[in-house]
Structures are given as structure tokens and as C-alpha cells.
Amino acid sequence: MRKIIYPGTFDPITNGHLDIAERASKLFDELIIVVASNPDKDPLFSVDERMDMIKKSTHQLKNIQVETTERLLVDFAKDNSAMAIVRGLRHVSDFEYEFQMAMMNYHMAPEITTIFMMPDEKYIHLNSSILKNIVKLNGDISEYVPTYVLDQLHTKLNS
Ligand code: ADP
């Protein structure tokens, strides 16, 4: 059983995240999406809300699970018998931080491989923060998030 984990803040999940999750889920037997609480980023949605949106957005993909952890990611990976971590790379600007994280994780757990994937071109400029700002100003982001996520964003930001 080849398992991979996909960690992130997912505040909220976008079609760019989903593009990476789908690609990784086809290459491995099981993908665990791991929601980090990430209080430093002052998330709009609680961990439970973020997990709920991910579950609803991935229900058609049978080999995806959704979890959260307060622990070191490599420890979570080992405890769940995962052999790899996947992260998305959009621009060169993502690279420096991701490179440092991957090297630190190799230092702590050399047996767990970090894999980077690029999303489809149409999602390359997407990030959750930009989408939240557009929704606040009543812009249309329907092509970038699942319908359920769009509804949750409008409820949270515009009601
Ligand atoms: P984090 O705070 O861990 O960066 P994010 O939720 O912002 O959490 O992102 C989680 C992962 O998904 C990261 O690897 C990020 O590069 C990737 N990602 C975010 N948005 C996109 C996108 N539009 N296309 C591809 N990957 C993405």
C-alpha cells in the first residue's frame, strides 16, 4: 500500500489544490490530505470547517482521506505509514520556502520523499488569500472553487 500525504492550510480548498490532490491520488494507492491548524496565518475557517469542505469536494475520489494533526508532519507521515509528501509548486516564489521545508524534512526523516507537482496552467495564479479578497468585493470566483466552497465563502464573508 503506497500512501502519500498532502499537507496545507486549505483556507479554503481551491480547484488548484484539488488538481494536485487528483494527480497524486492517481499515482498512489492512498492520499491523506492533512489540514494544518496554522494559527500564524489567522485562517478564516476553523479546522473542522476546512476538513468538511475538503471531504465534500473530494467525495468522488475513493482513495482520499482527510485528517488534521498538531504534530510534526514527518512524524504524522511515519505513524500513518506514508512514504511521501506532495506539495504544489506554482511560481519560482514558492520554491525557496518549499526547498527549505523539504530539506528540513529530509534531515528529520530521510525515508520520506517530498514530491512537487505543478497544477494545470489555469490554476497557476490561484491562492486562497486572493480568492477571499475577490469574494469580499463581490467578484466572481466560481471557476476556481467547488460550489459548496463558494457558498461557504459567501456565508462567511458577505452575510
Ligand atoms: P500552506 O500554508 O501549507 O502553504 P496552502 O493551503 O496555501 O498551505 O497550500 C497547500 C499546498 O498546496 C502548498 O504546497 C501549495 O503550494 C499548494 N497550492 C496552493 N494553491 C495551489 C494552486 N493553485 N495550484 C497548485 N498548488 C497549490
Euclidean distance between the first and the last CA atom of the chain, given in angstroms as a whole number: 45
The domain that contains 103 carries what CATH number? 3.40.50.620
Catalytic one of 23, 90, 132, 156? 90
Q: Which residues contact 145 (CB under 8 A, 6 or more apart)?
A: 12, 13, 14, 15, 131, 153
Q: What is the mean pLDDT of the chain?
A: 96
**Burial label, 26 (beta-carbon count in 10 A; 0-12, 13-18, 19+):** exposed
Q: Each residue of 52-62: pLDDT tens digit?
A: 999 999 999 99
pTM, full prediction: 0.96
C-alpha cell at 35: 489540514
17 is catalytic: yes
Q: Residue 137: inside a domain, yes or no?
A: no
Residue-wise pLDDT for 110-153, tens only, equals 999 999 999 999 999 999 999 999 999 999 999 999 999 999 99
Atom 15 (ligand 1) nearest CA: 88
- The total number of structural domains in the chain stands at 1
Domain assignment present for residue 82? The answer is yes
DSSP code for 155:
H
- Share of residues in the chain with pLDDT > 70 (%): 100
Alpha-carbon gap, residue 81 to 57, rounded angstroms: 25
Range of the domain at 47: 3-125
